[in-house]
């Protein structure tokens, strides 16, 4: 049975964002010389503005650029940088690339999971942290590497993990 759609044709679904945020993204796109080949850049901007890329934001981008929603989602789902779920106040990225992995990244991330009580790509109950396991972040000389937001922690030992996290609990 071809069901009538549960989603409305005009009303947004999910979390509602203030119009200003959409305006800001729209202005950014309008200001580009060309949108050809610029999807990733636009999605970066969108994630900066909204914090993540929920359904409506992806569809907004698709319609603005006149491309299928599936194409946008294909890119969003390909890159681990993009997220379709809200993030915590801080994002902890544990590098699981080859160099970090052979230097014990698996033990580091286990300790982080224990400390936070969540798995990868989840958000802590207090909304403070999101944990991501990422591939190489290009700091192999410092392996194993953990990033909290934009700050890089190199040569991390298991016993350092709690101290690093606690700095952000204040």
Site residues (vs other proteins, CB under 8 A): 1-7, 9, 55, 58-59, 62-63, 67-74, 77-78, 84
Distance, in Å, from the CA atom of 105 to the CA atom of 100, rounded to the nearest integer, reads 5
Kindly tell me which of 32 and 67 has the beta carbon lying closer to other proteins: 67
Kindly tell me which of 71 and 160 has the beta carbon lying closer to other proteins: 71
Kindly tell me which of 63 and 157 has the beta carbon lying closer to other proteins: 63
Query: Least CB distance from residue 55 to other proteins, whole Å?
Result: 5
Kindly tell me which of 26 and 69 has the beta carbon lying closer to other proteins: 69
Query: Least CB distance from residue 73 to other proteins, whole Å?
Result: 5
What single-letter DSSP state applies at residue 167?
Answer: T
Contact 86, 72 (CB under 8 A): no
Kindly tell me which of 72 and 109 has the beta carbon lying closer to other proteins: 72
DSSP states of 78-135: H-TT--SS---SEEEEEE-SHHHHHTTHHHHHHHHHHHHT--TT-B-TTS-EEEEEES
In the chain, count of helices (H) and strands (E)?
7, 4
Measured on CA atoms in the order 137, 142, 143, 149, is the torsion positive or negative?
negative
């Amino acid at each position: 049975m071809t069901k009538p759609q549960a989603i409305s044709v005009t009303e947004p679904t999910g979390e509602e964002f203030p119009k200003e945020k959409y305006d800001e993204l729209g202005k950014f796109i309008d200001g580009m010389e060309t949108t050809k080949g610029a999807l990733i850049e636009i999605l970066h901007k969108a994630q900066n503005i909204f914090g993540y890329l929920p359904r409506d934001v992806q569809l907004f981008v698709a319609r603005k650029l006149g491309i299928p929603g599936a194409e946008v989602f294909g890119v969003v789902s390909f890159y681990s940088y993009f997220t379709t779920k809200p993030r915590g106040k801080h994002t902890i990225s544990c590098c699981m690339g080859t160099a970090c992995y052979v230097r014990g990244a698996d033990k580091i991330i286990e300790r982080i999971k224990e400390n936070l009580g969540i798995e990868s790509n989840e958000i802590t109950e207090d909304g403070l942290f999101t944990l991501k396991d990422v591939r190489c972040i290009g700091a192999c000389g410092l392996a194993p590497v953990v990033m909290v937001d934009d700050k890089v922690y190199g040569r991390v030992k298991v016993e350092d993990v709690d101290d690093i996290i606690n700095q952000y609990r204040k």
